Amino acid sequence: MRKFITLTAAILFCGGTLGHAQDEQNHQFSARIGAQALKAQTLITDGQYSDAIGVIDKALSEGSLSNFERATLLRMQGSSYFELGDHSRTIQSFKASLEAGGLPKSEHTQIEVALAQLLIANGQSLRGADILEKWHRNGGQLSSAHFQLLTQAWIDQKNFSKALPWAKRWFDGVSVKERKHFDLLYFIYAQLEDRPRQADVIRQMITRWPDDKTLWQSWASVLSAAGEERAAFDVNVLMYDEGLLTEEAELLRLVQYYGFYDIPYWGARLLEEEMAQGRVESSQENLEKLSNLWRQAREYDRAIPVLEKAVQKSTGDKLHAALGEALINRADCQKAERALKTAMDRGYDRGKGWMLIATCRYEKSQQAERPECKTSTKESRLITAKYKSQDEAVMAFEMVPGGSSQRNSANKWISFVKAERQAIEDRCTFIKEQGRLRCMEEIDRAYKEYPLTGVLDISDVCLSYKDAYDAEYRAGKEIFN
């Protein structure tokens, strides 16, 4: 701002001070005032602004000045104050010059425009903007610098709707667009909450400055504010792929995004790689995050080593319970029980803990080879093993505390397991009875055929039933009867 005013001052404030001395009769200096004005002009040209002000003040104190003489001297006075950096007095002098009248129209306009610039630059933006816009409506040609001033003036007033048209004209008018031009448009669109145009500006900036991480972050923020969370996530992924995410907080935020959008596998891989590289600390909290992601992805074999490492740093129950659940999903019931019992000892819900243990025991029993009835030593062993595993599951279900919210479910499981065992026994009873009836029929048929064949043809399987058949059907009879 200061640079712009300095440049215009050299053109507007000093040049042409005495150029209209003989233009018209009412635009002339008297000999006496003209001599003082010329002396002041010489001092200004030599950079002796304070001395020039002294000469001008003396001339202004004399009476009988024409409007032209007073306005011109005040103009020169304001120019000198400006060069001394006294903007307040510059503004006063220019206002007084305009109020005096008598200047040619072109010079009056120059002072008016310069005053507007000074007002905007010195906190009186509303008045300065009104002057510049009025001048423009009356045919004045605004420059790129004026567009910038008007934009700033309305921003100072927090009137971003009025600032936007001037900002766009400033933006469109510059041949070489710099970062500041984009930043200004982005800022105004942000204040107006125009998310689509904000995003458009950011995309243009990223095209020009692709390595600027703050631009990518702004783009993601705009998308998120607009409710386009998934698009914001995609931007973060692009940032990571471009190597722009290097800080631990940034990387963990991206990992969180993966979990939120139900892509746990890739979130876990990213976190694991960054922990291996040392950009993310292998803290208990981060290990827990990693294990949770692997579990969400159903990669239990990868979750378990992480949890085993994490529990070494833990004094609570949560991680031990998580380890127990992961081990259950891998059907490693013995290790799961140890982890869950440790968790319960440290305060974990005993109802949940014992339900998990019992369920694992039961699922383990279901993996055993399905037994048939006790028709052989092998089948007897299978049934014994099946009953034992079921008993162990029931014992665990019975450990669920009476006041637990899990107690009702435990009771249902116990009933289910007992019903399952009864079903095995009922099935065997049925199979055994069917076998007995078939043998009875075979023995009966053998007795009936004996008179013809002379051979009592009974299979080895059914011979064990002959005594029972004889006792029931052939008591007191000879074989030949």
pLDDT of residue 382: 60
Tokens of 368: 């055993």
Mean pLDDT across 450-458: 87
pLDDT of residue 160: 92
For 1-122, CATH gives: 1.25.40
pLDDT of residue 368: 64
Q: Enumerate the domain spans of the chain.
A: 1-122
pLDDT of residue 385: 67
Residue that is written with structure tokens 């399952």 in the block? 420
pLDDT band at 332 (very low <50, low <70, confident <90, very high): confident
Q: Which of 343, 353, 342 has its CA nearest to residue 318? A: 343
Q: What is the pLDDT of residues 34-63, one digit of tens each?
A: 888 888 898 999 899 999 989 888 888 877
pLDDT band at 478 (very low <50, low <70, confident <90, very high): low
Residue that is written with structure tokens 């070494």 in the block? 312
Residue that is written with structure tokens 């458009």 in the block? 200
Contact 220, 236 (CB under 8 A): yes
pLDDT band at 374 (very low <50, low <70, confident <90, very high): low
* Amino acid at position 475, single letter: A
Mean pLDDT across 155-179: 89
Q: d(Cα 142, Cα 133) in Å, to the nearest integer?
A: 9
Percentage above 70 pLDDT, the chain: 89
**Does position 161 have pLDDT exceeding 70, yes or no?**
yes
Distance of CA 95 to the CA centre of its chain: 54
**Does position 450 have pLDDT exceeding 80, yes or no?**
yes
Percentage above 90 pLDDT, the chain: 13
**Does position 476 have pLDDT exceeding 80, yes or no?**
no
pLDDT of residue 24: 44
- What's the per-residue H, E or C state across 410-440? HHHHHHHHHHHHHHHHHHHHHHHHHHHHHHH
Mean pLDDT across 216-232: 84
Contact 182, 205 (CB under 8 A): yes
Q: What is the pLDDT of residues 241-290, one digit of tens each?
A: 888 888 999 899 999 888 888 889 999 999 999 999 999 998 888 888 88
Q: d(Cα 235, Cα 219) in Å, to the nearest integer?
A: 8
Mean pLDDT across 161-180: 89
Average pLDDT over all residues of the chain: 83
**Does position 32 have pLDDT exceeding 60, yes or no?**
yes
